[in-house]
Amino acid sequence: MVKKITLTTFLKQLEISFLLVSIISAFFVLLIWKDINYTLSLLSGSFVAYLNFRSTKNDSIKTLNLVKEGLSPEKGIFLYMSKFYLRLFATGIVLFFFIKILKMNAIFILLGLTLIYFQLILISIRNFYLKKLEIV
């Protein structure tokens, strides 16, 4: 039997779990390495990934709504891809600032970035294959 879940509920649960896993991971990094720089690096990487996910989600929803209201699909794709590349450029500048100016640990920043997207994959597998949920 397939259970149905709304997209907003799924995304809200996903965002809450992102924040919880980021905080728990930062706690374990602080507990194991006892270095605040590593912890702040992990948290900043997780925060950047969370903001990227959230803004990608919002841009996708806005672009789809604009296309539904009459914007041509070609212009919608151009608009979305423009925002995507601007976001990618801004992320690069922020990461450069974190690593070069603030002297944060690049490995833990990448770990924080990866943590969010790895968790997205795990939650999707759990919801769609193990719990048999369907987004409506």
What are the pLDDT digits (tens) for 42-55? Answer: 999 999 999 999 99
What integer pLDDT is reported at residue 91 of this predicted model? 97
- CA 111 → CA 68, 91, 118, 132, distances in Å? 38, 15, 10, 30
What integer pLDDT is reported at residue 134 of this predicted model? 79
What integer pLDDT is reported at residue 98 of this predicted model? 98
pLDDT digits (tens, 9 = 90+) for 73-110: 999 999 999 999 999 999 999 999 999 999 999 999 99
pLDDT digits (tens, 9 = 90+) for 109-134: 999 999 988 998 888 888 888 877 77
pLDDT at residue 21 is higher than 80: yes
What pTM did the predictor assign? 0.89
Distance CA 111, CA 7 (A): 27
CA atoms within 13 A on the CB side of 42: 19
pLDDT at residue 1 is higher than 80: no
CA atoms within 13 A on the CB side of 83: 16
